[in-house]
Structure 1
Amino acid sequence: MSAFLWGSATAAYQCEGAWNEDGKGQSNWDVFCHSEKNSINPATGDTASDHYHRFEEDLNLMAAGGQNAYRFSIAWTRIIPNGTGVVNPEGIAHYNAVIDACLARGIEPVVTLYHYDLPESLFVAGGWENRRTSDAFCAYAKACFNAFGDRVRTWFTVNEPNYDTLCCYGIGNYPPNIKDLSRRWRAMYHMLLASAKAVTAFREGAYQGMIGLVSDSYAIEAHSDTPDYQEAKRLADLFYNRSVNDVAVLGQLPTELIDKLRSEGQILDYLLPGDQEILAAGKVDMLGINAYDRMLVKPCTTSQTSLSTNNTGTADSSNETNIAGWFSVDEDPTTQKNAWGMELYPKSIYTLLHQLNDRYPNLVFMITENGVGYRDQLVDGQVHDTYRVDFLKGFVNWTLKAREEGCDVRGYFVWSTMDLYSWINGYAKRYGLVYVDYNDNCRRIPKDSYYWYKDTIAAWNQKEGR
């Protein structure tokens, strides 16, 4: 196996700030966060963690912590402000500086091209429901490959096609804030088509390195092994995992998914002649896995689909997933959860890696995100986040066990490098290895988890003789 990447991850809108500087265009999140629709935790990413101006300070902390890789996303609106057309030289210059700063510190830049922030001009033209967005994305990807492909060796096309579109068109808490799963399937399909087109462009350009897609995949489990529970597991796997991973890895939309959607009376007019060839040509080299928790499922007994999520971390908000004709998400009363209802179950990554490895033998995997959100407290200049250390330690150990048993895992990235804007959750839900004091000019303060991660990496390097 190749050298293991130990790093942490961010996304442009969540950490950069500088939302209207240096020729950057507006994204759907810029507009949404400044609108009345942003009502759950009304905050914006205007400043966020101010990473745009402080990336060298953040990279110094990563290097001092022994991290040898940094996964970050490029803001499409900095490269092509209007989504299509002229490339912005100031945006190119910024990411050139970030990449060069990474390399100067022995940190491998791992670049994600799209992480939720769509240029507003494309969003108002239909966003990912509009097939033309996939062509615009491919042109944007080519601009990035041309500008940065001489130094970036690890690329990811799209981040979380499943979770992104589920929030946009299922839960309805991300723009365009709609509850219509038929529109979700259309948007997700065009994301996957865009990814395939970008992968083909990468190969046609003969760029060095590997390219993949980031999937929020889940170990699918159930309390019972009866036929109806087994069917719920099969459908949940299709809904969350195979709908994305089969397309990215095998180059084809699962026949079972097409049949299921047609049985519901959905119009699949977006599946066009010639698409299969595009998808087959755009198979990924590797699969990024954003691993947080498992999906414990049961048969859905209601005729109405209902989806909600806890974005406040309070008892009066809850998570609910009932997808009529598919499955419901179950609860395990014996496991610990955080305030937002996320189950703390590290073994899920071990189960997931083996499930994926069985389905896609010989595929390269990378844990592109793993972390847990808490209301961290700064006390006497320190953050003692033992809960995060315990969570991450469990996931790291189970990941390495799966690796030892034959799953080709090439890297592990903590979410997140520093505290940042957590989308609809605002700023109270913190994930970072480094605390950001938003009341003191975004001052950086490494947490206990930062030092634990540093020691973990050092122990690994010593074991491997590096």
Structure 2
Amino acid sequence: MARLDFPKDFVWGTATASYQIEGAAKEGGRGPSIWDTFSHTPGKVVGGDTGDVACDSYHRYEEDIALLKKLGVKAYRFSIAWPRIYPQGTGELNQEGLDYYSRVVDALIAAGIEPCATLYHWDLPQALQDQGGWANRSTIDAFVRYAETVFQAFDGKIKQWITFNETWCVSFLSNTLGIHAPGLKDLQLGVTVAHHCLVAHGLTVQKFRALGIKGEIGTTHNLGWCEPYTNSPEDVEAARRSRAWGNEWFMDPTFKGTYPQFLVEWFKTKGAEVPIQPGDMETIAQKIDFIGINFYTGNYGRYKKNEGLFDCEDVQVGFDRTFMDWNVYPEALYKTLKWVHEEYGDTPIYITENGACYDDTLTEDNRIHDELRTAYFRKHFIQCHRLIESGVPLKGYFAWSLLDNFEWAEGYRKRFGIVYTDYETLARHPKDSYYFIQKVIAESGLDA
């Protein structure tokens, strides 16, 4: 049996997000976010679920860090809730919020785990949304001020920073498709929000450099892979448009300072244009220390007139599906990251999220035999090894997610965790996938 060994300095980690796990929505001086508003709006979240309690990690973070230490990870990716730092988005600083994250960071360091902090994982202060949210350029300035506060508070302790998580979701999923908060449906709005978030990213990187903060800074984009169903020009172009919406639309500005022109022209036919101001593109294309890639799935696409935004029809070719109804397509991870390396150069890459949702069952002895999730991880770890052996600068992998948690518009019915959360008792129970990853980390590799 082939043995696949990973580099000794490969960073194994796992990840969470503030609104999904913290709870304590009205404690510690925290202000309301767009997700508090959205989740409390009837019909927006399955089951009427909210993040008011979530996994209660605000109070149970020490228990969660003990699980991380037992898992053996080198790093933990978490997000800082902007409304805990500036409850109104701007104005008065909430020291109690900074103190909470200081306790979390100190506990991680004491456990020998490197904290990796995401500045924006979707919980925009509602007060800023009331003024137009990310469609209002003043939100950019508010974000940079928030980032500066956090940089200075944790300089030397947090050495890896991510500006934004999944800008495609922040913009198009939330403001064009209306699936996530704030739940709006306008293509121009999605294009505008995407641009403003990218500008905010660039200005934040500039601020990080100007302050002389120790460590590294990057951003995270969620990428996927749309393979043409045939080699016909129509299918190739349809798949290219569909893929570029999530990939090139964000990666090109980040690395090249341009938007993909073919998609700019396509959006114009739909009545949407990018609101670029002088200097914006140079600002966006600040040199970053690494790029984070969140990857879950891929598909096959073929041309079909008036199908969706890009005349591209999804074709099922027999993939297994997760409980989110997403294709299990491990080779697409290899194709995606190899493309990133070939297209954008030698910037170090971290897989900042990868995982699978399944309908887990807790046994009488508090075990969870999640064979499908374990198989999903195994298959994707193999593709990670292929990438490294192929010369792609893949430096680390963060499994999504440490805990079952509030899965956004899907509420609590969709479980991504490698640790089972009992939402009645809030007890944590490691799944078989947790022990599988623990073994891979301990042995720095796996048998294929």
The Cα shift of 1:283 comes to 3.4
Q: Distance in 2 between matches of 1:273 and 1:288?
A: 27
Residues 38/263 of structure 1: CA separation in 2 closer, same or farther (3 Å cut): closer
Q: Which residue of 2 is the match for residue 276 of structure 1?
A: 281
Residues 277/227 of structure 1: CA separation in 2 closer, same or farther (3 Å cut): same
Which of 63, 78, 83 lines up with 2:69 in the alignment?
63
CA contact (8 A) 1:289 1:365 kept: yes
Q: Which residue of 1 is the match for residue 35 of structure 2?
A: 29
The Cα shift of 1:208 comes to 1.7
Q: Secondary structure at the residue paired with 1:171?
A: coil
| Partner deviation per Cα, 1:336-390 (whole Å, 9 max, x = no partner) | 1123311111121111111111101112110000111112110121100011000
Give 1:31-430 correspondences, 5 Å limit: 31-268=37-274, 270-280=275-285, 282-302=286-306, 322-323=308-309, 326-380=310-364, 381-430=366-415
Q: Distance in 2 between matches of 1:271 and 1:374?
A: 42
CA contact (8 A) 2:349 2:394 kept: yes
Number of residues paired by the alignment? 440
Q: Distance in 2 between matches of 1:196 and 1:2?
A: 32
Return the letter of the residue paired with 2:211: G
Residues 461/240 of structure 1: CA separation in 2 closer, same or farther (3 Å cut): closer
CA contact (8 A) 2:22 2:55 kept: yes
Residues 461/331 of structure 1: CA separation in 2 closer, same or farther (3 Å cut): closer
Return the letter of the residue paired with 2:13: G
Q: Which residue of 2 is the match for residue 451 of structure 1?
A: 435
TM-score (norm 1): 0.91
Q: Distance in 1 between matches of 2:168 and 2:139?
A: 17
The Cα shift of 1:206 comes to 1.2
Q: Secondary structure at the residue paired with 1:330?
A: strand
Q: Distance in 2 between matches of 1:330 and 1:412?
A: 28
Q: Distance in 1 between matches of 2:73 and 2:379?
A: 19
Q: Which residue of 2 is the match for residue 15 of structure 1?
A: 21
Residues 251/283 of structure 1: CA separation in 2 closer, same or farther (3 Å cut): farther
Q: Which has the higher contact order (CA 8 A, sep 6+)?
A: 2
Q: Distance in 1 between matches of 2:223 and 2:232?
A: 24
Q: Distance in 1 between matches of 2:335 and 2:446?
A: 28
CA contact (8 A) 1:212 1:286 kept: yes
| Partner deviation per Cα, 1:77-115 (whole Å, 9 max, x = no partner) | 001111012211111111111111111111110110001
CA contact (8 A) 1:110 1:155 kept: yes
CA contact (8 A) 2:10 2:396 kept: yes
CA contact (8 A) 2:440 2:446 kept: no
Q: Distance in 2 between matches of 1:240 and 1:267?
A: 17
TM-score (norm 2): 0.94
Residues 300/166 of structure 1: CA separation in 2 closer, same or farther (3 Å cut): farther
Residues 105/96 of structure 1: CA separation in 2 closer, same or farther (3 Å cut): same
Q: Secondary structure at the residue paired with 1:399?
A: helix
The Cα shift of 1:332 comes to 2.2
Q: Secondary structure at the residue paired with 1:179?
A: coil
Which segments of 5 or more consecutive residues in structure 2 lack a partner in the other structure?
A: 1-6
Q: Distance in 2 between matches of 1:331 and 1:370?
A: 23
Residues 285/335 of structure 1: CA separation in 2 closer, same or farther (3 Å cut): same
| Partner deviation per Cα, 1:286-310 (whole Å, 9 max, x = no partner) | 11111100142222312xx6xxxxx
The Cα shift of 1:3 comes to 2.1
Q: Distance in 2 between matches of 1:462 and 1:388?
A: 16
Q: Distance in 2 between matches of 1:283 and 1:253?
A: 17
Return the letter of the residue paired with 1:249: F
Q: Which residue of 1 is the match for residue 3 of structure 2?
A: none
Q: Distance in 2 between matches of 1:150 and 1:378?
A: 41
Q: Which residue of 1 is the match for residue 4 of structure 2?
A: none
The Cα shift of 1:462 comes to 10
Which segments of 5 or more consecutive residues in structure 1 lack a partner in the other structure?
A: 306-321
Residues 243/267 of structure 1: CA separation in 2 closer, same or farther (3 Å cut): closer
CA contact (8 A) 2:35 2:182 kept: no
| Partner deviation per Cα, 1:146-184 (whole Å, 9 max, x = no partner) | 011221111100110112322212321212322221211
Q: Distance in 1 between matches of 2:71 and 2:334?
A: 26
Return the letter of the residue paired with 1:260: W
Q: Distance in 1 between matches of 2:129 and 2:300?
A: 34
Return the letter of the residue paired with 1:154: Q
Q: Distance in 2 between matches of 1:109 and 1:250?
A: 29
Q: Secondary structure at the residue paired with 1:140?
A: helix
RMSD: 1.7
Return the letter of the residue paired with 2:393: D
Q: Distance in 2 between matches of 1:105 and 1:403?
A: 28
The Cα shift of 1:210 comes to 1.3
Q: Distance in 2 between matches of 1:151 and 1:411?
A: 19
Return the letter of the residue paired with 2:293: I
Residues 396/245 of structure 1: CA separation in 2 closer, same or farther (3 Å cut): same
